[in-house]
Amino acid sequence: MQFANSFVSFISSIVSNMSTSSSSNISTPRDLYPPIEPYESGFLEVDNGKHKIYYEVSGNPNGKPAIFLHGGPGSGTSPSNRCFFDPKVYKIVLFDQRGSGKSLPFANLENNTVWDLVSDIEIVRNHVKVDKWLVFGGSWGSTLALAYSETHPDRVTELVLRGIFTLRKNELQWFYQEGASFIFPDAWDQYLAPIPENERHDLISAYNKRLCNDDPDKETERMIACKAWSIWEGTTSKLFPDPDFISKYEGDKFALAFARIENHYFANWSKWVNPEDKLIQDVHKIRHIPAVIIQGRYDLVCPIRTAYDLHKVWPEAEFVVIPDAGHSAFEPGIQKALLDYTDKYRGI
């Protein structure tokens, strides 16, 4: 009860500050670069052919290399991701992580860990003939960007990170057990709906039992759980919920990969990474790399606490807090900051 009361007071102060803030605190929008098509795309076999990952290259073939790491895990890339980079300057590389987007087998969990993905990034880098590149990642993409750069710091020229997520237990508990539920109780009820009362003390495990069960007789139950999990994140990802944005998370195909792969990672992270704050502890390996941490002040999916903790051990990284934004890369202030920094780093 003490937590709930203090949390209500905190939210009240947020609302008060937002209602009295001057127009100078409202972010100035900036358009993405115009849509472009890849000039190269295909599939790379990894894990002895058990997975085929989709990759694409667009922009300037002789330009500054950059790789975009998508979120989720499980969401896959989209054409708009290319548009965070000046196509006249950058050689833009996108790829769909194992089981995501166009990669095959779709929604597959076998040999699908953070270290498998780090290995895949190196396979992509070698295939597109890049020595070093700018690494761009938001949300889960920031997690993977940290894991990759701390493993291969000599392959990274700059880091553009957004909505920081390091999968510590308190981060997962906040969004999937108790915390964000106090701000979106109506959406939380829909998230709880597929789970019986007697299993709600550990919602990640309860969902794991349903999402990662491949029994054909459980297909309906699995799909209901996938949609509930996915819609919860889509609903809470923007400062002001956006029905068009949420509709992507409602789609059967998107929800299946997104929910299964996300939950698989969150349920098993502690088996792959030890200690749980390894990504923050290992920042000393990358403190020499030019970097920016861009964070929405009111990000409910990946609260600012994690970004702040990262910046405290990495003071060399620029820390940009967007005062009127939630989680999504397409919030006006976050989108502008991401574009500003890919522009800033294009000349380095």
CATH number at residue 300: 3.40.50.1820
**107 CB burial (10 A radius; 0-12, 13-18, 19+):** buried
Within-domain flag for 51:
yes
Omega of the bond leading into 332 within 30 degrees of 0 (cis): no
Within-domain flag for 54:
yes
C-alpha 141/C-alpha 160 separation (Å) is: 10
C-alpha 64/C-alpha 72 separation (Å) is: 26
**9 CB burial (10 A radius; 0-12, 13-18, 19+):** exposed
Task: Look up 284 and say whether it is catalytic.
Answer: no
- Whether residue 258 is found in the same domain as residue 206: yes
Instruction: Identify any residues that bridge with 291 across adjacent strands, giving them in sequence order.
Output: 159
- Whether residue 60 is found in the same domain as residue 136: yes
Within-domain flag for 50:
yes
Structure tokens at 3: 């937590």
Give the residue among 186, 165, 295 at the shortest CA–CA distance from 235: 186
- Whether residue 90 is found in the same domain as residue 187: no
- Whether residue 161 is found in the same domain as residue 289: yes
Give the residue among 279, 256, 276 at the shortest CA–CA distance from 266: 276
Task: Look up 131 and say whether it is catalytic.
Answer: no
Within-domain flag for 9:
no
Angle ∠(282,285,290) on CA atoms, nearest 5: 115
DSSP string for residues in 318-336? EEEEETT--S-TTSHHHHH
C-alpha 213/C-alpha 221 separation (Å) is: 10
From 217, 240, 272, the end of a domain falls on: 272
Q: Which of 96, 120, 299, 324 is catalytic?
A: 299
Q: What is the pLDDT of residue 18?
A: 44
- Whether residue 290 is found in the same domain as residue 156: yes
- Whether residue 131 is found in the same domain as residue 195: no
C-alpha 334/C-alpha 199 separation (Å) is: 37
Q: What is the pLDDT of residue 25?
A: 74
Alpha helices per DSSP H over the chain: 2-20, 114-127, 140-151, 169-176, 185-192, 203-211, 219-236, 243-250, 252-272, 278-281, 304-313, 332-345
- Whether residue 151 is found in the same domain as residue 281: yes
Is the separation of the CB atoms in 227 and 292 below 8 Å?
Answer: no
- The pairing of beta strand 90-95 with beta strand 133-138: unpaired
Q: Which of 70, 237, 327, 328 is catalytic?
A: 327
C-alpha 76/C-alpha 254 separation (Å) is: 9
Q: Which of 75, 100, 103, 139 is catalytic?
A: 139
From 244, 272, 300, the end of a domain falls on: 272
Q: What is the pLDDT of residue 24?
A: 54
This prediction's pTM: 0.92
Within-domain flag for 66:
yes
Angle ∠(18,24,26) on CA atoms, nearest 5: 55
Q: How many CA atoms lie within 13 A of 108 on its CB side?
A: 17
Give the residue among 217, 252, 258, 1 at the shortest CA–CA distance from 109: 258
- The domain of 303 spans 40-168+274-345
Task: Look up 139 and say whether it is catalytic.
Answer: yes
Q: What is the pLDDT of residue 348?
A: 67
C-alpha 18/C-alpha 47 separation (Å) is: 49
- Whether residue 321 is found in the same domain as residue 210: no
- Return per-residue pLDDT of the chain as tens, 348 residues: 444 444 444 454 444 444 333 345 788 899 999 999 999 999 999 999 999 999 999 999 999 999 999 999 999 999 999 999 999 999 999 999 999 999 999 999 999 999 999 999 999 999 999 999 999 999 999 999 999 999 999 999 999 999 999 999 999 999 999 999 999 999 999 999 999 999 999 999 999 999 998 889 899 999 999 999 999 999 999 999 999 999 999 999 999 999 999 999 999 999 999 999 999 999 999 999 999 999 999 999 999 999 999 999 999 999 999 999 999 999 999 999 999 999 999 986
